[in-house]
Amino acid sequence: MKTNSQTLQLAVKYHRAKKFNQAEQSYLQVLKEQPQHPEALYGLGMLAQEVGQPQLAEKLFTSAVSVQPELLKGWFSLGNVRQAQGQFPEAELAYQKAITLRPDAAPLYNNLGYILQEQGKFDEAVACYQKALEIEPNCTEADVNWANVLHTQGKLSPDKQLHYAQINHKLGVARQQAGDWQNAIAYYRQAINLQPDFAEAHYHLGVALQAQGELEAGIDCLQTAVQINPNYGEAYMCLGLVYQTQGQLNEAAAAYRQGLKLINPHYAAAINNQPVSEFVPEKYASPEIELGEVTVGDYQFPAIPPVPPSDKKRPFFSVIIPLYNRKDYMLECLASVLAQWQGEEEMEILVMDNASDPPLFELVNAIGGGIVSYYLNSENIGPRRNFNRGIALSRGEWIHLMPEDEYVLPGYYSRLKSALEGCPDSVGAAFTGYENINEKRKVVFTQKHSGMKRGINKNWLQRIGGSNPLNPCATLIRRAAHERLGAYDLINLYTPDWELYKRIASFYDWWCEPEILARYRQHSNNMSSEVFLAGAQGEYYRMGIEISESYLPEEYRAEITARSRKIYFNRCLSDVAIPLKADNVAGAFRLIQETLKIDSSPEAVTQLFNWLATEQAAPLRNAIASKLISKASNHSNSEENLNNFYFAYP
């Protein structure tokens, strides 16, 4: 049983790792035991501020300082969150209170000076900046803010304006990197005020405004940046993202295309020499491929044939992007790959359109024409068959299969190539760290693979065997491993990636690159949302455990399987809250049934019955008591429904 102190330490650890859901639950657990715990209130306030809930953050900080009036960081953060909301008199009071607690802190005087400056109290603001510099002579923020006040009063000499514009811009970049968008925007605007033709400041201001949801203002800034500097590729790329967010996909494609031409000379050469293609369905029809079978353990998997002999050099990478109807994020995904494309001998890109209606050729061709190989299936063959068809068509040494709503960060391919081109043949796959972002592009989870070193880690099988810490966007698989062990299982409709990773880890080493180099997008239109609401994930977790039990090395099999059953029992039990919250009692019961099939040990059964006694489980208890559950749990068509889910990834 953890003490409150231990739970708080765990919450802080989760918070620093950007595991916000776990951090929130731990903070709430502390408050459940001690409702007025100031550190837990403060921690929740910081969490709310980071995820874009300033009003909740203000409420929590106010509660924290009311419980502990000497909580300096509480007053400071309260001033910051009020400042971010434009509550300048209230922020002024909070900073003044903090100064009474710590009169020798330069940042407090600097922030108070900024609040006074925003209220037009220039002389008082200057006095605060002078005090900050007296305490800390190298306080850049106070120095530049003082200069900004002088400029507002017409007292800053022209020869100093360029100097302070650059410092404002530099401070803006630093605040943006720290996630402090409000102050970043203020610094960028001040840089532009001092130097109106400062293209970088306009660009970064556009990026910041876009991130804050101010799309039209962001577009204006980015367009100004490219007017000042027509060769500003990054600004065009960001324009593409903003247009994409607005749903203006043709405009987005045009901006991405121009940006890619400016930032990637290999792309520019290929695009400039390529005539515009017209869409003729027959020309782009994907070949009908019947794959054989390969047996691993007690199960059969689709076999991947070797690459046919050819005089043409095989590329190092094959990037496979499966499509079906969705196009909201596709251009960003393609652009993230094309920005790193170094020529056809280095990378081939295969887009597998699974009979979208209408076909998505035009958008793909708008930025990928001449580089991307577009294949259109004559009918929807299901996501996993589509994945496997792409793998069978690939020629690269290493396969990267990435759903169209995910994307890679700069350096993904160069970093992995530098590691893999000289690695031993024993390495069958590789992975990087990654982040999950939400629909507002906020990072909500970070997977850094803590405890793992760069290179081959000998305990990897035990780790991937117990649960899946990977994401397809961050994973590469050697094609030779597919040729030996097969591709995605067609029966496992939800977690075939985890099963495939375990299959490969049972026979190959894996290479780890812990750096964050890819992003997975959590949104309401992905498969996970559908599956979790239906309570359907449990049966496929169980299937993945049972399949791998037949081929895991004998010396590790029992330990890995037992640990995996325990992990997924707890995960499913936690996930029951999702269908219950949506009033889907049938889905909750479906998941409970599978939870017991995953682990029916006496300890697990006791844990389940204890959970059923909680208030959270009341709807499920009521359904059982009223004998409605047999009707609600009639899922004869469950497999058919799951086949309609778009992607097969948790």
The whole-model pTM stands at 0.83
> What mean pLDDT do residues 473-491 have?
97
Q: Is 74 exposed, middle or buried (0-12, 13-18, 19+ CB in 10 A)?
A: buried
Whether pLDDT at 629 is above 60: no
pLDDT tens string 417-435? 999 998 999 999 999 999 9
Q: Do domains 169-263 and 281-523 have the same CATH topology?
A: no
Whole-number pLDDT of residue 625: 66
Each domain of the chain, given as residue ranges in start order, spans 169-263, 281-523, 530-643
- Which pLDDT score, from 0 to 100, does residue 626 have? 62
Rg (the chain; Cα; Å): 28
357-388 CB burial, b ≥16 within 10 A, e <16? eebbbebbbbbbbbbbbbbbbeebbbbbbbbb
The string of pLDDT tens digits covering residues 186-219 is: 999 999 999 999 999 999 999 999 998 999 999 9
Instruction: At 457, list the tokens.
Output: 């880690």
Cα→Cα distances 183→186, 304, 468, 607, Å? 5, 53, 38, 48
The predicted structure's pLDDT at residue 636:
43
- What's the whole-number mean pLDDT along residues 156-174? 93
Instruction: Give mean pLDDT, residues 518-523.
Output: 92
pLDDT digits (tens, 9 = 90+) for 230-247: 999 999 999 999 999 999
Altogether, the residues listed in the chain come to a count of 650
Bigger pLDDT: 224 vs 492 = 224
pLDDT given at position 644: 41
- Which of 288-297, 376-385, 614-623, 636-645 comes out lowest in average pLDDT? 636-645
Among 45-54, 160-169, 452-461, the minimum mean pLDDT is found in: 45-54
Question: How far is 106 from 115, CA to CA, in rounded Å?
Answer: 14
The DSSP H or E segment spanning 527 is: helix 527-534
In this model, does residue 633 exceed pLDDT 90?
Answer: no
Fold of 169-263: 1.25.40
Fold of domain 281-523 = Spore Coat Polysaccharide Biosynthesis Protein SpsA; Chain A (3.90.550)
> What is the SS3 assignment for 582?
coil
Q: Rounded mean pLDDT of the chain?
A: 91
Q: Residue 615 carries which DSSP code?
A: G
Q: 184, exposed or middle or buried, with CB in 10 Å at 0-12, 13-18, 19+? A: buried
| CA 301/CA 496 separation, integer angstroms | 11
